[in-house]
Structure formats: structure tokens, C-alpha cells
Structure 1
Amino acid sequence: MSKVYNAILTIHSYWAYLVLLILFLATINAIVKFITNKPFTDKDLRISLFGLIVSHIQLLIGIVLYFVSPRFSQWSELGAGVMKNPLLRKVLLEHPLTNVIAIALITIGWSVHKKKTTAKAKFGKIAFFYMVGLLLFLLMIPYQLWFD
């Protein structure tokens, strides 16, 4: 494997820890403040925004990783045969597609919260969309590769 691939894979893997941590914090913050009817402050805005930003950076790193990965050539070699191999299907199709959906949901949550006028509504949107995005991330991590 190339040095570029290994470097990007390492960055993608370590950045994933940051993404999961920040999204977890943003989700818990929104849930707690939704339940306790707290006001929406600049700190809440920053926590949620940071979750959005780190997720989008992870997406960009992931896109680069996808195309420099030695597994990417399996599409041309196997074609639809990629679908018969569970590991290749996970890393070439399920993981990237589901994570793009997760980031889209996080982005929707961020956008929708800005249109809400009450703190409870803002926290509700962030809590829901960020939690679904976080759960999708957790479901699609290729754990068998991540802990190698």
C-alpha cells in the first residue's frame, strides 16, 4: 500500500474519533437542554457548528481516501461482484453511502435549527438530526478494519 494511502487512512481513522466525540457532545447537549428548557446560547451554537464542521472535514478526508484506496480498483476488476464480497461491499458502498447520508442529515439539522425561533425547537432539531447522523456513523464503521 502506498504511503499516501496509509497517511490518509490514519488521518481518517483518528479524525473519526474526534467526529464521534463532538457529535456525541452536541447531541447530548441538545437533548439535555431540550428536556430542561434551557435557552439557546452562543456556546450551544458553537458546539453544534463544530459538530457540523468536523463531520464535513471527515467527509472530505473520506472522499480522498476512497479514491486513493487500493480497494477502489475492485470496482473495475469485479464490477457488480463487489456486492458478493461483504468486506468490499461495506468499504466501497455501504460505509461511504451511509456516511454521506449521515452528514446530509446533520447538515439538515443545522439548517433547520436556524429557522426555529424557540430554544426548545432549536435543540429538538439538533438533537434529532445529529443523533440519527451519529447512529448511522456508528453503524457503518468498518470495525474489523478500524482495530487492525
Structure 2
Amino acid sequence: MTSIYPFILALHSTWRWIVLIIFISSLLRFTYQKKNKRSFTPTDNLLKNSVIFTFYTQALLGIILYILSPITQYFLTHFNTAVHLRQIRFFGMEHSSMMLLAGIFLLIGSLKSKNADTDDRRFKILLIWFGLALLIALSSIPWEFSPLTSRPSFRSF
């Protein structure tokens, strides 16, 4: 394990809260805008892009962790054994696969919303695709209370 691993792990753990705050804020705003039949504004576009930026920054940190982590290294080198160990499999395969899927849903939602013919339709597309991405991400975060694998909510640097 390199000396940067604990720092990246703490940063990844802390950054998730920023991602979640921006994600949830965007969905609340998009819901409000759609419900009140408002126009898609530059603020909405900034919020949409902020979700994508923070999520993909988190994904980049996750990729670095995947490369550095002793857990994923064990998973990759002892696959036949590790795939049967719940916590090892979670970080070696499930967490990364589901977050990749959430990232794809964000990308699809963002691209489809650009081609929407009305603002109402744009908000609807963003709510569906970003909402699905958020649900997938929430289900794949190693929460402190998770029966799948438990990790602290906050790590120190």
C-alpha cells in the first residue's frame, strides 16, 4: 500500500457527501422547475454539469483507489476465492460496476436532455436518468449501516 492510498481513500469518502448534496439539490430543483412549468435556465444547466463534474471526479478517485487498494488487488489476484467473500467482492466488482452504470445513466440523461424539444421534456429526462443514477449510487455506497459492507461515514485525513 502506498502512502497516498489513505489520503485518496479519505478524499473519496469525503467527496461523496459533496456529490450527494449536489445530486439531491439538482433533483429537487429540477422537480420544482418542472412542477411550476419554468424554463430551463443557465442555473439549471450549471447544476446539471455540476452533478456530472462531481460524480466523475468521484469516479476518478475511485479508479485510483481501485488500482491502489489492497482489497481490490486481492480480488484480482485471487478471483476464484475472493468472489465468494462478500466484502472483497463488493469492492472488487459490485461497487465499481454499479457506479459505472450510474455514470452511464448520468451521461445518457445529460445527452438526451440537450435534444429535448421543450423545457418540460428536458426536466423530465433529467429527473428520470439522474434519479435512476442516484438510486443506483445510493444502493452501492458502503454505508456505515449497510448489511453488504460497512465503512465509516467520515474518514480522517
In structure 2, the residue matched to 1:12 is: 12
The letter of the residue matching 1:55 is F
* Greater helix fraction, Structure 1 or Structure 2: 1
Please tell me whether the aligned partners of residues 22 and 47 of structure 1 are also in contact (alpha carbons under 8 angstroms). yes
User: Structure 2: how far apart are the matches of 1:122 and 1:6?
Assistant: 40
Please tell me whether the aligned partners of residues 72 and 92 of structure 2 are also in contact (alpha carbons under 8 angstroms). yes
In structure 1, the residue matched to 2:95 is: 95
The letter of the residue matching 1:66 is Y
1:136 and 2:142 correspond: no
**Superposition misfits of 4+ residues, deviation over 4 angstroms:** none
CA change 1:76–1:116 in 2 (3 A) is closer
TM-score when normalising by structure 2: 0.89
CA RMSD of aligned residues (A): 1.3
Please tell me whether the aligned partners of residues 34 and 120 of structure 1 are also in contact (alpha carbons under 8 angstroms). yes
In structure 1, the residue matched to 2:146 is: none
The letter of the residue matching 1:75 is F
- Unmatched tracts of structure 2, length 5 or more: 144-149
How many positions carry a matched residue from both structures? 148
The letter of the residue matching 2:99 is N
Aligned pairs for 1:22-61 (under 5 A) are: 22-61=22-61
Q: By how many angstroms is 1:2 displaced?
A: 3.7
- Greater Cα offset, 59-68 or 2-11: 2-11
User: Structure 2: how far apart are the matches of 1:75 and 1:108?
Assistant: 30
User: Structure 2: how far apart are the matches of 1:125 and 1:141?
Assistant: 24
The letter of the residue matching 1:142 is P
The letter of the residue matching 2:52 is L
User: Structure 2: how far apart are the matches of 1:22 and 1:76?
Assistant: 33
Please tell me whether the aligned partners of residues 23 and 134 of structure 2 are also in contact (alpha carbons under 8 angstroms). yes
1:121 and 2:121 correspond: yes
User: Structure 1: how far apart are the matches of 2:76 and 2:99?
Assistant: 23
Q: By how many angstroms is 1:146 displaced?
A: 3.2
Percent of aligned pairs with the same amino acid:
24
Q: Residues 6-61 of structure 1: CA distance to partner in whole angstroms, max 9, x if unpaired?
A: 01001111111111111111111112211221111111110111001111111111
Please tell me whether the aligned partners of residues 28 and 127 of structure 1 are also in contact (alpha carbons under 8 angstroms). no
